[in-house]
Structure 1
Amino acid sequence: MHELAITQSVVDSVCERAGGRPVRSVRVRVGVLTAVVPDSMRFCFGLVTEGTAAEGAQLEIDQPPGAGRCRTCAVEFTLTDLILLCPCGSADVEITSGQELQIVSMEVG
């Protein structure tokens, strides 16, 4: 379960930035192509925040869709998984969205 390690890193970063102030909410952007399961991340968030400045904080997860651009025909299209095939049949695809994994914002109180 890589969500635990990812969530731990998020909480560590948030708590460091909070400087001891209580954290009320954290918003992260986790693209659909990252293979991170949002429900698992929420579960892990509750565990790893215990005893930290982020204990009791709300976790909000934005999930941008996957998108790609074919290097062969230049068409842009939606990706729902990591099978990188353009509708034209080419596998020469550049991922342009959906692999994001970042802390967008946090609210401290």
Structure 2
Amino acid sequence: MHEMSLCESVLQVLETEAKRQQFHQVKTVWLEIGAMSGVEIEAMRFCFDVIVRNTLADGATLQVIEVPAEAWCLDCAQTVKIQQRYDTCPHCGSCQLQVIRGEEMRIKELEVA
């Protein structure tokens, strides 16, 4: 379950930013998670609650913003929505798609005190 190590990394970022920006409590964390990131959102929620216990984010709410996957078609020069890697272009049928969005996971916003 790599979601546990992802949550540990998120907590490390929170602790670093708390020192840098001088806040003491995290109330809400908004995470953007791409559809093709390989992250199981429900596992992420569970792990987040476990990892943040007895930390500055204890009791914080995790809000997940799901980012759809998109690719650029090299043949017809269109941005298209995809469901998985190696989908074909819905416009021209090409297999020449370059993923441009949907693989990321990032902290978008924090509510702190």
Paired residues in the alignment total 109
Q: Give runs of aligned pairs for residues 61-100 of structure 1, distance below 5 A.
A: 61-87=64-90, 88-100=92-104
| Regions of 4+ moved over 3 Å | none
Match of 1:35 in 2: 38
Distance (whole Å) between structure 2 residues aligned to residue 26 and residue 76 of structure 1: 30
Alignment gaps of 5+ in structure 1: none
Per-residue deviation at 1:83?
A: 2.9
Distance (whole Å) between structure 2 residues aligned to residue 46 and residue 82 of structure 1:
31
Look up the SS of the partner of 1:27 in the other structure.
strand
Which residue identity does 1:49 align to in structure 2?
V
Q: Distance in 2 between matches of 1:17 and 1:76?
A: 35
1:12 paired with 2:15, answer no
* Aligned counterpart, 1:2: 2
In structure 2, stretches of 5+ residues that fail to align are: none
Query: What corresponds to 1:106 in structure 2?
Result: 110
Amino acid in structure 2 at the alignment position of 1:107: E
State the Cα RMSD in Å: 1.4
| TM-score (ref. length: structure 2) | 0.87
Distance 1:95 1:57 in 2: 32
